[in-house]
Amino acid sequence: MKGLVKWVGGIIAALVILIVLAAIVLPQVIDPNDYRDDISALVKDETGMTLSINGEIGWSVFPWLGLSLNDLQIDDTHQKKLGSLQYAAVEVKLLPLLSRKVKVSKLELKGLSLDMEVNAQGQANWEPAKKQETAQVPTQTSPTPSPSAQEEKSSGSLPEFDISAIAITDLNVTYRDIPAKRTVSITDARLETGAVRPGQPFQLSSSFNLKNTNPVIATGISLEGMITPDSANAMYKAENLKLSVTPLNVSNPETLALRGHAVVKGSDISGDIKVNPLDLALLMQQLKLPVPALSGGDKVLRKVSLGTTFTKKGNRVDLNKVSASFDDFSLNGTIAVTDLKKQAIAFNITGNDLIVDPYLPIATADQQAADKPAQTSGNASGKPSGSTSPASTGDEVIIPVDTIKSLNIKGSAQLNSLTVKGLLFEKPTLEVKAANGNAQVTKLNAGFYKGVIDAAAGVDVSGLLAKRPRVSARADIKAINLEALSAQIVDLKKITGKTNADLKVVGHGLTQNQITRSLNGEVDFSLVDGALLGTNFNKSVCGLVAQVRKEKLTKTDWPDKTEFKALKGSVKIIDGVARNRDLTAALDQLNLKGDGEVNLVNQTMDYHLGLTITGDTASEEESACRINEKYADISWPLRCKGRLGESGLCGVDEQRLGKTIGKILEQEAKDKIRKKLEEKLGGSLKDLFKKK
């Protein structure tokens, strides 16, 4: 038995010696340069391309399996140059490969150029020629490993690498897509490392220039960092990563500088990232990227920064310790993609003072014309200066159905203040959710012009509602100061006071007109300690009284307002028309009752007011309208009619005035008859009836 083992061992030793001798002798005996033509013919036969080996081919077998190539060129199937290589060399130690260890003494690539093109017919020049199909005998294929088996195999440790250095220099690639009229080129690309060994950090340095024609981009990109491979745990660490993007061919280029750390284990990633403050608007201009036309002009996006820690585990990505700044606005919080497949996003953000207006797109001429009357600046007429474009018709689609359908969001935000369209919300709290085509602002609480607002709104485009979305809103408003609010909403400049309101409305449609025409809901409102500016109801009633008495008003300094202690009522909105039947107000020396409607579709109103004098006079300073207390219950009619926003809407209701005068004349006739009877009977009718 011992002899047999010795004999087998001798055979193995002899085989090893033979292999070593062959590895030493073969490179001396066989010259690969003798097979250049055979290699080129094989490439031609298999791909239809032409390979030209113009330089020397070097090779070795033991102890290093090595190959070096010099001066190669390959032409595509149409005999046009596809690529070329100046020099390439690699040496791998042979025996460690048997134990899944890769030991490389040299990995070098220099002067690789590729000229890739998709022609007008959509054919790529790097695709090999199609070989004529030949009948093949079906062969039995091995069964595909089950997913669990594949996962088990892939979950093992990575091959152990030991590379002395990697040097890839002078790499140039051009890609032309003729149908798309686009050319992308990468020039002067390089990748260099130190020794790559398990558990030991190595320095990575790479850079390249990127140019694109559609859109036009010319930039230099570089990446540096310290990489630590851990093959046993299938993990890599990247520390002190520095990525920079710098525009080319410009003076004083603005650089996007990104720093960070990362740990990669399988498909899971964690780390942190920080973008140094930069002038984003200038960077985009220098990169020739389209800069959005924003209302803030060249004063926005001038100082932008970002920082966060991140983790990706399975189907989830978390961004923690998020900090970002845009000019004067800064925010902090967390953002998570809770389901990558469903693109579900959750967030919780806090921030300082956010002014949205400068970041809104510049309105078109039509939009400016439509919005001008609601602005406080500009000419007094409210007409858009420098533009003769007509106002928006309201038939433009304002509900982005596809965008809303794609949303899968749930989150909250708290700010110190929020300004939108000039409206200031103090310490707003916002909660939103959107999924399956139903987007809602479930909560909006904020201080609002010395009062508070609690509101919610939603847009539902799910199912059949995609063709006619449902838009809804509710609001509970308390003690809003209209005088303060009128600085932003011109239409409110004619009224002051503190308002309270409870609003619930719903409409359907894709355009502003469709929504307005279908608007339905209810509004309960009250206004206290206020005034109606531009109209003096006392003067109007005095004028009516004087007209009936056939006298003239002598007072000329009537205040241009009507003060009131309380005004309240309710409104029902049906198909875009708001109707009120119970308006009541306690004015200065008057009581007011009103009814009428406001057509939100046509922006018109027709409202009737009845004013009743409280007491025996309408004005202590105007004798022409003094009346006895028996006329105090007469309702003096006024009417407000016309287009919303116009002046001089309110005046005497001539139609109802005739009935009022008739009632007064009837009362006066009764009084005359009563007086004559009393004269003849020698006493008042009341006393006479009492005696009886």
Question: Which of 362-376, 428-442, 635-649 has the weakest average pLDDT?
Answer: 362-376
pLDDT at 74: 92
CA distance 293 to 363: 9
Bridge partners, residue 103, by sequence: 162
- pLDDT tens string 481-524: 888 887 777 767 778 888 999 999 999 999 999 999 999 999 99
Distance CA 578, CA 582 (A): 13
Of 356, 326, 350, 345, nearest in space to 429 by CA: 350
pLDDT digits (tens, 9 = 90+) for 374-386: 443 333 333 333 3
Residue 495: Cβ within 10 Å count: 21
Residue 463's pLDDT band, with cuts at 50, 70 and 90, is: very high
For position 387, what pLDDT does the model report? 38
Residue 588: predicted pLDDT: 66
On whether the CB atoms of residues 238 and 226 are closer than 8 A, the answer is yes
Flag the least confident range among 239-248, 426-435, 484-493.
484-493
Task: Tokens 């469709």: give the residue.
Answer: 514
Largest distance between two CA atoms of the chain: 166
CA atoms within 13 A on the CB side of 305: 14
Could you give the CA distance from residue 246 to residue 234 in angstroms, rounded to a whole number?
34
- Once rounded to an integer, what is the mean pLDDT over residues 556-574? 84
User: Does 157 have pLDDT greater than 90?
Assistant: no
Among 25-29, 79-83, 301-305, 465-469, which is the least confidently predicted range?
25-29
Rounded CA-CA distance 367/293 in Å is 15
Is a pLDDT exceeding 60 seen at residue 196?
yes
Nearest to 537 by CA among 582, 590, 488: 590
Q: Which two tokens stand for residue 418?
A: 């929020």
CB 613 within 8 A of CB 588: no
Residue 297: left if φ>0, alpha if ψ -120 to 50, beta else—which one?
A: left
If you average pLDDT over every residue of the chain, what do you get? 81
Each residue of 292-303: pLDDT tens digit?
Answer: 888 888 899 999
Q: Which tokens is 540 given?
A: 């109007």
Centre a 10 Å sphere on the Cβ of residue 670 and count the other Cβ atoms it contains: 10
Do 360 and 371 meet the contact criterion of CB atoms below 8 Å apart?
no
Whether the predicted pLDDT of 657 surpasses 90? no
Nearest to 238 by CA among 230, 247, 248, 246: 230
Task: Assess whether pLDDT exceeds 60 at residue 14.
Answer: no
Spatial separation of the C-alpha atoms in residues 420 and 649, rounded to whole Å? 30
How far is it, in rounded angstroms, from Cα 341 to Cα 393?
40
Residue 289: alpha-carbon gap to chain centroid: 19
Task: Give the pLDDT score at 593.
Answer: 87
Of the ranges 83-92, 196-205, 462-471, 485-494, the best mean pLDDT one: 462-471
- Nearest-angstrom CA–CA distance, 248 and 243: 16
In angstroms, how far is CA 626 from the centroid of its own chain?
64
Q: Rounded distance, CA 433 to CA 418, Å?
A: 19
Query: What are 684's two structure tokens?
Result: 């008042």
pLDDT over 50 (residue 370) = no
Please give the residue that has the higher pLDDT: either 676 or 311. Answer: 311
Using a pLDDT cut of 90, give the percent of the chain over it: 43
AA letter at 314? G
Do 291 and 274 touch, CB atoms closer than 8 A? no
CA nearest 249: which of 277, 218, 292?
218
- pLDDT reading at 334 higher than 90: yes
In this model, does residue 218 exceed pLDDT 80? yes
Q: What is the pLDDT of residue 25?
A: 47
Distance CA 38, CA 553 (A): 119
Q: d(Cα 212, Cα 221) in Å, to the nearest integer?
A: 13
Does the structure show a pLDDT above 50 at 72? yes
Is 208 within 8 Å of 149 (Cβ atoms)?
Answer: no
Q: What gap in Å lies between CA 319 and CA 341, rounded to an integer?
A: 17
pLDDT tens digits, 244-290: 999 999 999 999 999 999 999 988 999 999 999 999 999 999 998 88
What integer pLDDT is reported at residue 673 of this predicted model? 67
Please tell me the predicted confidence (pLDDT) of residue 610: 83
Identify which has the larger pLDDT, 628 or 517: 517
Residue 166: CB partners within 8 Å, gap ≥ 6? Answer: 107, 108, 191, 192, 193, 196
Pick from 150-159, 211-220, 286-295, 608-617: least confident = 150-159
To 10 degrees, the CA torsion angle through 365, 369, 375, 379?
100
Residue type, 298: D
Q: What is the mean pLDDT of residues 46-50?
A: 89
User: Does residue 599 surpass a pLDDT of 60?
Assistant: yes
pLDDT(225) > 60: yes
Chain mean position to CA 224:
32
Report pLDDT for 505. Answer: 95
| Phi, psi of 274, deg, nearest 5 | -145, 130
- Residue pointed to by tokens 């061919």: 249
Model confidence pTM above 0.85: no
Q: Are 114 and 186 in contact (CB under 8 A)?
A: no
Q: Which two tokens stand for residue 203?
A: 């320095």
The predicted model gives 394-419 an average pLDDT of 92
